[in-house]
Amino acid sequence: MKRTIPLVLVFIFGLLGFIPFIVPHEIVQSSDDFLRNNFLKILAAFALILGLGSLLRVHIDKIKRKGQNWPYSWVLIITFLVTAIIGLFGGVTGQGVLPTRIGSFSFDIWTIFFNIEVPLGATMFALLSFFMASAAYRAFRARSTEATLLLVAAFIVMLGVLPLGNSISPHLPSFAQWIMDVPNVAAQRGILFGVALGMLATALKIILGIERSWLGGGGE
């Protein structure tokens, strides 16, 4: 019972997802839109809450067990609660129930997002250029013919993409563009066929109940 119901559901809704592609009839299309806009959208909302719940549970457990770096979990939870309150009650544009301005200092949800989350997120990935530079020196070796071909193509693209390439010779940017348009498309398309067949295989296995690992995800 615990396994058959979900497997039957995944099959039925698999068909409901596939049929509107080939059947344009008014009845099928409007019921497909109704199912999506009124049923699936609300399920997704609850899934979001589940995701948030799991995150908070991981950190609350860490605090209870005094796990590694547990004080930082307190920081996470407190920041989350403060931001959530400002967002929920302060409103999207700061004109909500909760006042989000003290004198000229406004702290509506967007200002917090733009001045805390954006710099943290942007800088986290800016680190990568440093790691790329040191990896370029310490790790990227022409250790095989394949790796050599890779690095040569990389050099052509890195030069060709930039105005400098154009000043070295107008042919360089066109050559770099050609590498992207012909050999690169051939390789990516070859890989894409394999990936697409893999996606098709996985989709069919899930709908027909052959692939059941997702069931395991439910049990505690």
| Residue 11 CB neighbours (<10 A) | 14
Listed in sequence order, the residues at least 6 apart from 3 whose beta carbon sits closer than 8 Å to its beta carbon are 212, 215
Based on CB atoms, which residue is closest to other proteins, 64 or 214?
Answer: 214
Whether the CB-CB separation of 85 and 99 falls below 8 Å is answered with no
Based on CB atoms, which residue is closest to other proteins, 37 or 64?
Answer: 37
4 binds other proteins (CB under 8 A): no
The one-character DSSP state at 116 is I
- Classify burial at 165, counting beta carbons within 10 Å of its beta carbon; exposed 0-12, middle 13-18, buried 19 or more: buried
CB of 41 to other proteins, least distance (A): 5
CB of 89 to other proteins, least distance (A): 10
- Select the residue interacting with other proteins from 60, 98, 158, 168 (CB under 8 A): 158
CB of 66 to other proteins, least distance (A): 16
Listed in sequence order, the residues at least 6 apart from 107 whose beta carbon sits closer than 8 Å to its beta carbon are 86, 100, 101
68 three-state secondary structure: coil
Matching residue, tokens 């193509």: 153
127 binds other proteins (CB under 8 A): yes
188 binds other proteins (CB under 8 A): yes
132 binds other proteins (CB under 8 A): yes
Distance CA 94, CA 107 (A): 8
CB of 153 to other proteins, least distance (A): 3
Nearest residue to 15 via CA among 37, 32, 30, 39? 32
- Select the residue interacting with other proteins from 60, 98, 103, 186 (CB under 8 A): 186
Site string for other proteins, 52-91 (x = CB under 8 A): xxxx-xx---------xx--xx-xxxxxxxxxx-xxx--x
Site string for other proteins, 5-44 (x = CB under 8 A): xxx-xxxxxxxxxx--xxxxxxx-xx-xx-xxxxxxxxxx
